Homo-oligomer: A and B are copies of this chain.
């Protein structure tokens, strides 16, 4: 296997990731320690690019680091089934949906307060937004 070689900076650029983040992922075990030059510089290749892209895409989908470790274990080790991956994805979809619902409730509360503030030239003492935050039970709490 003769792959093209990449420095960490090149790997980071290919994956829209920071060098420090690659260091971090290696430290926490998401990325393997790569071979080095005689001078100690890391040397990466295509499989590293693919693995880091996998990690970044999973992060983008909101999977936590620990979950990504699980997903990578499914890949790295034999005898795992697509069903296990699907279950994780479905669980994640459920988490995302809950966040969306939460945020939509917050949005409603904010919009309600904004509507009440028809004029912006009242003193803060008479501000319905401030009143709401000080006294009323705000949806989303």
Contacts and interface: CB of A to CB of B under 8 A. Distances in A.
Instruction: Please classify how large the interface on chain A is, using the bins under 10, 10 to 19, 20 to 34, 35 or more.
Output: 35 or more
A64 to B, nearest CB: 14
Interface in A75-118: 75, 80-87, 89-90, 92-93, 96-97, 99-100, 103-104, 106-107, 109-111, 113-114, 117
A1 interface: no
Given A81-B124, A82-B124, A89-B129, A103 B99 contact: yes
Given A89-B129, A127-B82, A61 B109 contact: yes
What's the number of copies of this chain in the assembled complex?
2
A50 interface: yes
Nearest to A74: B124
- Interface of A, helix, strand, loop or mixed by DSSP: helix
A35 interface: no
Interface of A: 16, 50, 53-54, 56-58, 60-62, 71, 74-75, 80-87, 89-90, 92-93, 96-97, 99-100, 103-104, 106-107, 109-111, 113-114, 117, 119-124, 126-130, 132-135, 138, 140-141
15 contacts: A54-B134, A56-B141, A60-B138, A61-B138, A61-B140, A81-B121, A81-B123, A82-B122, A82-B124, A82-B126, A83-B121, A90-B114, A96-B103, A100-B103, A100-B104
